[in-house]
Amino acid sequence: MFEPEQSEKGFYNIRPCFLPEKASARGIVFTLGSLTNSNIVFKNLETGEFSVLAEGGYPVFSLTGHILYQKDITRDGVWALPFSIETLKPTAEPFPIAENAGRPSVAIDRTLVAVDLRGSGQQQLVWLDRSGRKLGTIGQPQQGILHPALSPDGGRVVVAAFEEGTNLDIWVHEVDRALKTRLTFDPGDDLYPKWAPSGEEVVFSSNRAGNVDIFSRAADGSSEPVSLVSTSRTELPSAWSPDMKYFLYVVQGPETGLDIWYLERKKLEDGFDSRLFLQTAFSETNSRLSPDGRFVAYLSDESGRREIYVRQFPQGGGKWQVSANGGNFKRWSKDGGELFYVEGETLMSVAVSTTEGFAAGSVKPLFEYPGLGE
């Protein structure tokens, strides 16, 4: 089984590509780091050894004897790194082969296909009904929209996005009019925005201080961002409890992968106490509290792929598996009677009850939508 590697740039181990069978050892090249700062890494699957080959992302091996990749995973062109499948090492310095292109793919006949990045990053938030029918658009088009979150009153959507190919910042899109407002301005990368239940604050992760920590800022920009969670490890925000007594977040452990922690508001003074909720030999992430605050839905790879589970909060007792064929991007319905998640590119729904313990009904597909699982 592939063991994830650690990196100062981030914890993502993504976009793997196998070397051909005639290579001297079984190995893969993959992206290691964060969404905006990563390396191309080679790992020997027989010895477990790995090495950093170059800065970039989206690597693929070409039968021309090169590893093709996007040098800057947010906006730069495709580069080629000469690579020997006999020595499993680079043989020369990388060089550019396609400007304004990214996400390369190479066919057996050595044909190169890549995404044209000249203006192609513009995206638009849209409303869809339960059948997948488009009802309208939200806010304004923007480059590289990530992690959208609907405000508690349904009037705004907060996102992480690039503007003119720069770093990631937090933006707020209006639902009822074509308007977007920038919320963060630091040259670092800000991502994973979440609303407070009041709709008056937004929490997000940022590497502005050198480490990926969690910050909070007034949603109208009337105050400066303040640190909410800051340690020497990577922390990612998950969700507030409805009464804002608890705040769930994810911590990258040195040996246990991703673990779920929470802040508990102190009773007699300002501030929070930090407490561990779930730590296993596997990675647990993307936790969400039920509307009544009694259960946590989260992702775990304990089965060998990401599935959705539910546990009691804050005790951590019980464990119910919700998805069976992989799952991601889960959400509770506002009344707590449904869990939604993505399986492949299909939005799924499962009826649930949290009144007397936890119970889940049968899973039903709602609609399929291209790119929904990305």
Query: Looking at the predicted structure, is the pLDDT value of residue 86 above 70?
Result: yes
Provide the 8-state DSSP code for 324: S
Least confident of 14-18, 25-29, 238-242: 14-18
Share of the chain above pLDDT 90, in %: 69
Question: Which residues is 236 bridged to in the sheet?
Answer: 250
Q: Which residue from 55, 51, 56 is spatially nearest to 27, judged by alpha carbons?
A: 51
The two tokens of residue 21 are 């069978």
- Looking up tokens 């769930």 gives 248
Instruction: Kindly report whether the global pTM for this prediction surpasses the value 0.85.
Output: no
φ, ψ at 21 (rounded to 5°): -60, -30
Q: What is the pLDDT of residue 261?
A: 97
At 116, the pLDDT band (50, 70, 90 cuts) reads confident
Q: What is the pLDDT of residue 100?
A: 78
Q: What is the pLDDT of residue 136?
A: 94
Sign of the dihedral defined by the CA atoms of residues 294, 348, 196, 161, in that order = positive
Query: Looking at the predicted structure, is the pLDDT value of residue 371 above 80?
Result: no
Provide the 8-state DSSP code for 4: P
Each residue's pLDDT tens digit, 297-346: 999 999 988 999 999 999 999 999 999 999 999 999 999 999 999 999 99
DSSP assignment of 226-243 = EEEE--SS-EEEEEE-TT
Return all residues near 46 (Cβ < 8 A) that are at least 6 apart. 25, 26, 27
Least confident of 31-45, 144-158, 350-364: 31-45
Of residues 77 and 322, more confidence is placed in 322
The amino acid present at 335, given as its one-letter code, is: D
The two tokens of residue 361 are 């009904």
Question: Which residues is 251 bridged to in the sheet?
Answer: 235, 259
H or E element at residue 86: none
Distance separating alpha carbons of residues 40 and 359, to the nearest angstrom: 43
Q: Tell me what the mean pLDDT of segment 55-65 comes to.
A: 92
Query: Looking at the predicted structure, is the pLDDT value of residue 1 above 80?
Result: no
Cβ(182)–Cβ(163) under 8 Å? yes
Q: What is the pLDDT of residue 35?
A: 64
Distance separating alpha carbons of residues 169 and 184, to the nearest angstrom: 6
At 237, the pLDDT band (50, 70, 90 cuts) reads very high
